[in-house]
Amino acid sequence: MNATPVRRIGRRFPDYGWSWPTGQLDLLLKAALLSDEDAAAACAARWLDENDIDLVSFREHRLLAAISDRFGRKLAGHAAHPRLVGLQKMLWTKSRMAMREAEPALK
């Protein structure tokens, strides 16, 4: 049986590195948040090339909607663009339906 090494806690706890997402979620966050438009667009295109929109979860869908809103027609040449537009419409529709359903409780 192999024991996994215990992470040493230093004087600076918590180390902020543990809280930042890694891998593909990191790439998607950079596409949504980087102030450099070209770098953000490159991250978005890379993420779209490496991932299938239909296989990701709701958290990625929300970020993809933000990316679609941010870049709009700049991603029109990408094969995933029609799916991004559809995803954005679906999320908008679901949010409107949830608001309508909650309206009586809000009055």
**Cα-Cα end-to-end distance for the chain:** 60
Cβ contact 41:60 at 8 Å:
no
pLDDT of 107 reads 84
List, for residues 21-70, the tens digit of each pLDDT value. 877 999 999 999 999 999 999 999 999 999 999 899 999 999 999 999 99
The pLDDT of residue 2 is above 60: no
The pLDDT of residue 98 is above 60: yes
**Amino acid at position 93, single letter:** T
- Worst-scoring range by mean pLDDT, 19-33, 39-53, 76-90, 92-106? 19-33
The domain segmentation of the chain, as residue ranges, is 16-106
Of residues 69 and 11, more confidently modeled: 69
* Phi, psi (deg, nearest 5) at residue 21: -60, 155
The pLDDT of residue 18 is above 80: no
Residue 60's Cβ-side half-sphere holds a number of Cα atoms within 13 Å equal to 18
pTM tops 0.85, yes or no: no
CA gap 61, 64 in Å, rounded: 5
As given in the structure block, the two tokens for residue 105 are 């409780």
